[in-house]
Structure 1
Amino acid sequence: MFGDLSWRPLTDEDAKASADLLNAIETVDKSGENYTEEDTRTELVDPYADLDRASLAAFEGDAMVGYMKIRFKPFAEEVHRVFLDGGVHPGYRRRGIGTTLAEAGVEAAKAVHALHHPDLKLMIDVHKAEHIAGLAELVRSQGFTPVRYFQRMERPLGDAIPGTEIPGGLRVEPWSEENDEDFRSVRNASFEDYWGAAPMPADHWKNKITNQTFRPEVSFLLRDSGGTPVGILVTMYWEADTEATGVRDAHFMVIGTLREHRNRGVASALIGHALRAAADQGYDQASLSVDSASPAGAPGIFEKAGFRPKMRYVRWALEVS
């Protein structure tokens, strides 16, 4: 069925082959995700991606034609949600490779779950753009069902971005090495009531947030009059996207406000400040992803700031007893 394909776990030496595969997938799936070798290497060295136990890739010669990998969570309560990611080269689809990888992913998720949170319920999540051809059929065949929807939203930038007044009693400051831990603590505290969220330990924060795509000059923190951090906005930028599209996109990766400070203009002030900063630094647009059922009413806040829906993502889940 698979011809001369070879199969093995991923390693951190597969960064270039992974980038080549993901960029080939993007030419067909059009999810707006382009990669450099450095980007894929960052994902491969994720401290919570157990490549030996929980990844599998298919190769024809030196070319990777399909992969799957699992990312588990170091902290979980009641439910341990692991993420199953994967893809198949467009030229190799409809051959059963995706089904083989999906089945292997479910078994790998069970294995890492048994190692880290054996007493909790296991939920396996897949997060993909809704429009990808054949994706829904594949995950449904493995028992996954849609449980949540997310929107990618975009806003063009330019001279029309007005300056933003910071609410009284608050002050804004850019990211620095000195306040990095404040950023992380606000992220963890503000996401406590977000569906599926879990605390980010320092090593995960460094890998996922303050990596080569992080833009500290467009990342800000708000403090109250006593100096307590109450809100953050973190911006990322992918050079590969600009190479592919010609558009410089400032992606607002994390926007968080402590619960006791919500509905006081904190998020709006951070967004406005970051939009102006991004425009001043030559970005063409800003983007973000939002949970359609955000407990903080985020979709409305973003629409008020000029963001408009661009692409919908589905979170598929499989409960494993």
Structure 2
Amino acid sequence: MGIDEGWSAGLSVRPIEKTDAAAWAELLAAKEKVDAEGENYDADDLLEELADPQLDAARDTLGIWSDEQLVGYGVVRAPDGVVDVHRVRTEGAVHPEWRGQGIGGRLVPWLTRRATELHQERQPGTVGEINTGAIDTNTAALDLLAGLGFEKCRYFFSMRRDLGTPVEVPAVPDGLRLVAYSPAYDEAVRVAHNEAFLDHWGSSPKSPESWKTWFTGARAFRPELAYLVLDGDDVVAYTLGYEYVADTEATGIRDVYVGQVGTRRSHRGRGLAALTLAKVMAQAAAAGFQQASLGVDADNPTGALGLYERLGYTTKNTWITHRLAID
């Protein structure tokens, strides 16, 4: 079935372009009002996503239009490489006012077909599966995925912590140094991150290009809210903080999003993740941030969930990752 076939009368479909960023942001704002996922985007955020050099927007995105209104969208992304399974990720949404008209039932199969093609193009011969997520309160999305053969495979918690309560920063263990992030450490942090996350489900090593695109080169990254632990010249633990302007504008709350927390295997069990995270939180509070937030795999093998709970984080919502095997 071609890109223009099988859609409701009066709708048109085409890839998402940079000039569509404002319309895309409007769609996501309408979605957030109904789905309450705690995620807000502005046009600049979405332009940054379209600029990902790994994304072929002409083939890996789809916009569904009613005249000048974007009423649905889909995006397919593949990881840099494969550790165990080549997990191709899909995302999409339908404007709340356009739900119940079968758009989602056509969008998900399109995403599935494109994800299958992407797997065959980039990692033929490997085990592949499609992953897509949904908040657990969106029963319509959960039912749609189940009806199309997807199965639940992983649970993730979105957690928050009020920074009005003081944050105690632990002492630095003997022989180690706590330092602020600087670009001079960037490659060492990337290498440390790739090692730290080798045993995390769904993670694959980040190339220098992807690292810059999604992590320390992102417009939301705040280097002043990033701290590292050094053992000699080696980065052995780190926490990186982000600030999303669209979230602040939508909620009135200044939130530091903790994007990455990691400790190299050789240095686990010494409280280094708690040290760097607490330092980032304390710095954020001093800078006027009111809240800290993060996401965590419910089955994280390093016990991260317990760490975050001990630091005062509580679960705000739950996301469920679904998978569909690629034949």
Tell me which residue corresponds to 2:222. 215
Tell me which residue corresponds to 2:273. 267
Q: Residues 220 and 244 of structure 2 are in contact (CA less than 8 Å); yes or no, is this contact kept in structure 1?
A: yes
Aligned-residue offset at 1:162: 2.7
Aligned-residue offset at 1:54: 2.2
Which whole-Å CA distance do the structure 2 matches of 1:174 and 1:287 have between them?
Answer: 20
Tell me which residue corresponds to 2:319. 313
Tell me which residue corresponds to 1:303. 309
Tell me which residue corresponds to 2:56. 50
The runs of 4+ residues in structure 1 deviating greater than 3 Å are none
Which whole-Å CA distance do the structure 2 matches of 1:266 and 1:160 have between them?
Answer: 19
Tell me which residue corresponds to 2:71. 65
What amino acid does structure 2 have at the position aligned with 1:56?
L
Which whole-Å CA distance do the structure 2 matches of 1:128 and 1:172 have between them?
Answer: 37
Tell me which residue corresponds to 1:245. 251
Structure 2 gap segments, 5+ residues each: 1-6
Which whole-Å CA distance do the structure 1 matches of 2:180 and 2:8 have between them?
Answer: 52
Aligned-residue offset at 1:78: 4.2
Which whole-Å CA distance do the structure 2 matches of 1:169 and 1:248 have between them?
Answer: 35
Q: Residues 163 and 285 of structure 2 are in contact (CA less than 8 Å); yes or no, is this contact kept in structure 1?
A: yes
Which whole-Å CA distance do the structure 2 matches of 1:243 and 1:168 have between them?
Answer: 42
Q: Residues 55 and 67 of structure 1 are in contact (CA less than 8 Å); yes or no, is this contact kept in structure 2?
A: yes
Deviations 1:248-298 (A, max 9, x none): 110100001101111111111111111111100110011110101111010
What amino acid does structure 2 have at the position aligned with 1:111?
E
Aligned-residue offset at 1:191: 0.3
Classify the secondary structure of the residue corresponding to 1:216.
strand
Superposition map of 1:1-321 within 5 A = 2-158=8-164, 160-210=166-216, 211-224=218-231, 226-321=232-327
Structure 1 gap segments, 5+ residues each: none
Which whole-Å CA distance do the structure 1 matches of 2:273 and 2:54 have between them?
Answer: 30
Which whole-Å CA distance do the structure 2 matches of 1:228 and 1:237 have between them?
Answer: 27
Aligned-residue offset at 1:159: 5.8
What amino acid does structure 2 have at the position aligned with 1:294?
N
Which whole-Å CA distance do the structure 2 matches of 1:163 and 1:296 have between them?
Answer: 20
Q: Residues 147 and 316 of structure 1 are in contact (CA less than 8 Å); yes or no, is this contact kept in structure 2?
A: yes
Aligned-residue offset at 1:105: 0.3
Q: Residues 53 and 111 of structure 1 are in contact (CA less than 8 Å); yes or no, is this contact kept in structure 2?
A: no
Q: Residues 258 and 292 of structure 2 are in contact (CA less than 8 Å); yes or no, is this contact kept in structure 1?
A: yes
Say how many residue pairs are matched: 320
Q: Residues 134 and 142 of structure 2 are in contact (CA less than 8 Å); yes or no, is this contact kept in structure 1?
A: no
Which whole-Å CA distance do the structure 2 matches of 1:250 and 1:63 have between them?
Answer: 32
Which whole-Å CA distance do the structure 2 matches of 1:191 and 1:127 have between them?
Answer: 20
Classify the secondary structure of the residue corresponding to 2:275.
helix
Aligned-residue offset at 1:12: 2.8
Q: Residues 161 and 292 of structure 2 are in contact (CA less than 8 Å); yes or no, is this contact kept in structure 1?
A: yes
Which whole-Å CA distance do the structure 2 matches of 1:313 and 1:72 have between them?
Answer: 20
Which whole-Å CA distance do the structure 2 matches of 1:204 and 1:125 have between them?
Answer: 19
Q: Residues 169 and 275 of structure 2 are in contact (CA less than 8 Å); yes or no, is this contact kept in structure 1?
A: no
Which whole-Å CA distance do the structure 2 matches of 1:159 and 1:119 have between them?
Answer: 52
Identical counterparts, % of pairs: 36
Deviations 1:224-257 (A, max 9, x none): 1x22110111111111111111111101000011
Q: Residues 21 and 89 of structure 1 are in contact (CA less than 8 Å); yes or no, is this contact kept in structure 2?
A: yes
What amino acid does structure 1 have at the position aligned with 2:229?
L
Q: Residues 157 and 319 of structure 2 are in contact (CA less than 8 Å); yes or no, is this contact kept in structure 1?
A: yes
User: TM-score normalized by structure 2?
Assistant: 0.95
Q: Residues 261 and 273 of structure 2 are in contact (CA less than 8 Å); yes or no, is this contact kept in structure 1?
A: yes
